[in-house]
Amino acid sequence: MPSILLFALAASVATFVGGSFALKFRDQLHLILGFSAGAVAGVALFDLLPEAISLGARYHASATVALFVALGLFGYLVLDRLVFLHAHKEDEEPHAARGSFGALTLSAHSFLDGVAIGVGFQASAALGAIVTAAVLTHDFSDGINTVNLVLKNGGGWKKAFRWLLVDAAAPLLGAASTLLFHISESAIGLVLAVFVGTFLYLSASDLIPESHHRHPRALTTVMTLLGAGLLYLVVRLAH
Burial class (CB in 10 A: 0-12, 13-18, 19+), 170: buried
pLDDT tens per residue across span 15-35: 898 888 878 876 676 777 788
So what's the pLDDT on residue 90? 41
Q: Which domain holds residue 78?
A: 2-238
Looking at the predicted structure, is the pLDDT value of residue 83 above 60?
no
8 Å CB contact between 195 and 204: no
Distance CA 95, CA 85 (A): 7
* Percentage of the chain exceeding pLDDT 70: 82
pTM: 0.67
pLDDT top residue among 22 and 93: 22
Distance CA 193, CA 235 (A): 17
So what's the pLDDT on residue 2? 57
**How many domains does the chain fold into?**
1
- Amino acid symbol at 186: S
What secondary structure letter does DSSP report for 215?
S
8 Å CB contact between 148 and 32: yes
pLDDT tens per residue across span 141-150: 778 878 878 8
Winning range, highest mean pLDDT, from 35-39, 165-169, 186-190, 220-224: 165-169
